[in-house]
Structure 1
Amino acid sequence: MLSTAGANIRIVLVEPAGPLNVGSVARVMKNMGLHQLILVNPQCDYLGEEARLMAVRAADILETAKAVESLPAALVGCVRAIATTGDDSRSHPMPLEAPADALPWLLEAKSALIFGREDCGLTNAELNRAQRLIRIPSSDAYTSLNLAQAVAICCYELYKSVASCQKEEVASLGESASSIPDATDNLSTNNPEQLATSQTENPSISLNSAPLENLEGYYQQLETLLLKIGYLQPHTAASRMEKFRRLYNRAYPTVDEVAMLRGAIRQTEWAIKSYARSPVSDTLDGALPENPGDLKLES
């Protein structure tokens, strides 16, 4: 279970500025059985003497760390992402969860745990790349945690979750096999109706969750189309697209569902190009007026 968590979960630091912090992060990751470190546009020498000094015996985490230019690049291959924020007054519609409640969700799939800059954290646009947000509770007297400390707390919570699962597995092995119903008896892939019901009750269950880069490609296509048809305006596009992101983040679409959505956009793009245009107004012949509410139904 611990090796699975290490293979599934990557720790993502966005523009870390302190080599001592990065070294400390590497050390606590190794303490807690994690080894995938991704640095987005690092602002320090993460392989230098200061970082190695704090990493101690976790220098291998630093040496295998990947530096990428953007957060989307850091999330390639992930199907789940949780971002951290230290600001409980931020105007953001996504609920803030406690680490112990949210982090076990990352154990089930290829996932990322995202941490922001030491001085200003993550932007709203970066927070919207994640499906869930967590905040570490702290005293009102001093709410801001050091980056490495925040990573340590979250990695420890993940480690506890793994240990708890392992204890449950050991306990179940000690029981009589006849007293333990096979999960597949109640949830069989041979019973699609029953499986669909289970997935509806627990939206985190997905047989084929779409990687985040697939969703990102869809968002880019959708924004381009909506700008083209005038649904979005350049000065408000970012805020409108945030709402679309939150909508799909709640839905956990599968690979096939994202492919269907992208196919619909491609067909719409083709129709726009192929539809006959009026030589006078340069609008689509037979298209809706600028204000669809002006249409009156014929009696």
Structure 2
Amino acid sequence: MLETASANIRIVLVEPAGPLNVGSVARVMKNMGLSQLILVNPQCDYLGEEARLMAVRAADILETAKVVESLPAALVGCVRAIATTGDDARSHPTQLEKPADALPWLLEAPSALIFGREDCGLTNSELNRAQRLIRIPSSDAYTSLNLAQAVAICCYELYREKGSSAADSVGDVADRSSAADFVGDLTDVTDVTWRRKKSEGIFSQSPSPPNSAPLENLEGYYQQLETLLLKIGYLQPHTAASRMEKFRRLYNRAYPTVDEVAMLRGVIRQTDWAIKSYARSPVSDNLDGALPENPTDN
């Protein structure tokens, strides 16, 4: 359903400094049928007179906005995340996509669309919290867009896609010659859209599987992995952040499932247990013999 697709998406503003911008974002969200606004450490009075002046009839979006202290907290419950950047492709190793190509992917699961600060955007570390990155094409004469304008363009693309998805789903059902040819819930607009886009090759990356792990599960894995790699000396404190960014990009491309993340975390737990339980040989860097399975590991 269209309402379900809209409810899937949260707009995340990282440290917004302008109340006029926040109010404008609330207005365009309501214009385009979106209602979840998340503010990460806002640097302005998002409920003040200036914000309400720009929000007009969307003051309820401001009043129900959720305020969190960090970007990871804003992404709890999300399976997919797209971040926006004004930089060109040379400044970040992840492929930059156009909004119209990437944003429909958010309609199919609990998702976040992340926007950065008005003056400096998102840091590389914040960009790496997302699986995909978009950049709004603009003139070389002035490439930087206002925050509210960027949100408006992206919200419009989502709204336009929802409309075309609904029309396509109706057409798909009408074209079926028999009920046996149609598998699935007729009301599941996003599933029909996913199949259509996959068959037409619209996705620029492989779409994530239906049971992709929530981003907070992955975040827990990254923290465990970093702790282990620091412990065994693979990471050094002064280079750990840059190395972990590479791991994040790797897993962002893989879209691991809930079970796969659980398996990866189990490997780390078993490795950590083995390190604590078995001393190294005095004459070798190798552990003494094969390690038995940890009987307490589930």
Deviation at 1:235, TM superposition (A): 1.1
Corresponding position of 1:150: 150
Instruction: Specify every segment of 5 or more residues in structure 2 that has no aligned partner in the other structure, as ranges.
Output: 185-197, 290-298
Q: Deviations over 1:89-144 (max 9, x none)?
A: 55211000000000000001000000000000000000000000000000000000
Corresponding position of 2:111: 111
Corresponding position of 2:98: 98
TM-score under structure 2 length normalisation: 0.86
1:88 maps to a residue whose letter is D
Map of 1:235-254 to 2, 5 A cutoff? 235-254=238-257
Corresponding position of 1:62: 62
Instruction: Specify every segment of 5 or more residues in structure 1 that has no aligned partner in the other structure, as ranges.
Output: 185-197, 288-299
CA distance in 2, matches of 1:203, 1:87: 24
Q: Does 1:260 align with 2:263?
A: yes
Identity of aligned residues (%): 82
CA distance in 2, matches of 1:173, 1:100: 25
2:161 maps to a residue whose letter is S
Map of 1:178-189 to 2, 5 A cutoff? 178=178, 181-183=181-183
Against the structure 1 CA distance between its residues 173 and 267, is the aligned structure 2 distance closer, same or farther, given a 3 Å change threshold? closer
Q: Pairwise CA RMSD of aligned residues?
A: 2.2
Map of 1:283-298 to 2, 5 A cutoff? 286=288
Map of 1:194-233 to 2, 5 A cutoff? 203-233=206-236
Corresponding position of 1:191: none
User: Larger deviation: 162-171 or 79-88?
Assistant: 162-171
Against the structure 1 CA distance between its residues 281 and 126, is the aligned structure 2 distance closer, same or farther, given a 3 Å change threshold? farther
1:104 maps to a residue whose letter is P
Map of 1:29-178 to 2, 5 A cutoff? 29-88=29-88, 90-175=90-175, 177-178=177-178
CA distance in 1, matches of 2:113, 2:53: 24
CA distance in 2, matches of 1:74, 1:210: 16
TM-score under structure 1 length normalisation: 0.86
